[in-house]
Structure 1
Amino acid sequence: MFKYVLEFSKRGYIKYTSHLDLQRIMKRAFRRAGIELQYSRGYNPHPRMSLAQPLSLGYEADAEWLEIETEEPVSAHRFQTELQKNLPEGIQITRCGEIKEKKSLAACVSGAVYTVCFPVPYYREDFPAVTERYLEQEQILVQKKQKKSRELREVNIREKIRTMTPEEGCRGKLRIRLELDCGSASNLSPELVIRSFLEFTSLPCRRYEIDVTRNRLILPLDYAIRWM
């Protein structure tokens, strides 16, 4: 058994593909490329393939991680040629690595970095000062739907926001870089930060006008990946 991670970007209309559909696309691409994935055992075997963290519908990504197990060794060249040509437009493999850890990527990811682009001029307000006031709140309370009960519950998200940095983006628009908790131990969706920040600032924009890109996922420094 050989364990690999494929890093890929996801841009353009493919961002409207759901997590489950993306898994189907990847599975089909491996089959067409002739790369044999290892399968689980039991009555309903499935390929040992998983995305490190599901990406919300409508988000673009610079460096998503797909963890796979194969029956035989596969070269980086084969991943980046034979597999790549079977992937749809918008998905680009950027690098490949061999995983030397027993724990999965999904179990070890602890954070994520996002870029959020707002359709308002950066110099409309003193956004560094506004952001500082936003983060100075002892509590940032939002309504969050619970997974099991599906009921709305008020939660404090302040401790899960690691950093929040405003900057001038493309065409002079406001761009905010976020580093948030992400993973099985602690997780915060950028949607909750965006919603509460819009309420705090009363910015004149709607959610569909805001673009979000996940730039990277964060692993422990000692997680062993040998990039090929």
Structure 2
Amino acid sequence: MSNYVIKYTRGDAVKYISHLDFVRMFHRAVRRSGLHMVFSGGFNPHPIMTVAMPLSVGVTSDGEYMKIAFEDGHGYTEEGIKDRLNGALPAGFTVLAVQRVEGKELDFTKLDRADYIVEALLEQECTVDVEAFLQNRQLLV
């Protein structure tokens, strides 16, 4: 078993996906990519993956982190994992970097801070956005 830290972005097209839906979506994307994740043992096995700090619904990000355990013996490279995941993820998610870590080298439970940049829309910009939204003939949900 090898642990990898994955840095990814979450754009406007997917900012309304809840954390639990994101985890299920990412699990499906890993399966579609052909990568072999490690699963927990027991009656109800689940993939061994940890998201550093779940995002709130409606929030975009330029840099989120997760840790996933992949099976050894498949010859995975960091660049290969990145390319395969980007090919399987829906539009709006992009893997920026993948790095192999040893053992419990990175423990997300020890995070004690995060930096945020909040951009407030002016009332005029909000009106333009709402009008543009209402003009759409099709809305993807």
The TM-score range, normalised by the shorter chain, is: 0.7 to 0.9
In structure 2, the gaps of 5 or more residues are 131-141
Misfit runs of 4+, over 2 Å: 103-106
Answer yes or no: is the 8 Å Cα contact 1:36–1:71 preserved in 2.
yes
The aligned counterpart of 1:63 is 63
Larger Rg: 1
Tell me, in whole angstroms, the C-alpha distance in 2 between the residues paired with 1:2 and 1:36: 11
Deviation at 1:36, TM superposition (A): 0.6
Which residue pairs with 2:80 in the alignment?
78
Contact in 2 for aligned 1:67/1:105 (Cα 8 Å): no
- Structure 1, unpaired ranges of 5+: 122-172, 174-204, 210-228
SS at match of 1:115: coil
Residues matched between the structures, number:
124
Q: What TM-score, normalized by structure 2, do the two folds share?
A: 0.80
| Greater strand fraction, Structure 1 or Structure 2 | 1
For residue 97 of structure 1, the aligned residue among 96, 99, 105 is 99
TM-score (structure 1 length as normaliser)? 0.51
**Deviation, structure 1 residue 80:** 2.0
Inter-partner Cα distance in structure 1 for 2:13 and 2:58 = 9
Distance 2:69 2:87 in 1: 20
Cα RMSD, aligned residues only = 2.2
Q: Specify which of 101, 110, 115 is matched with residue 117 of structure 2.
A: 115
| Superposed counterparts of 1:70-219, under 5 Å | 70-72=70-72, 74-102=76-104, 105-120=107-122
| Preserved contact between residue 8 and residue 96 of structure 2 (Cα < 8 Å) | yes
Quick one: distance in 1 between partners of 2:62 and 2:3?
Answer: 22
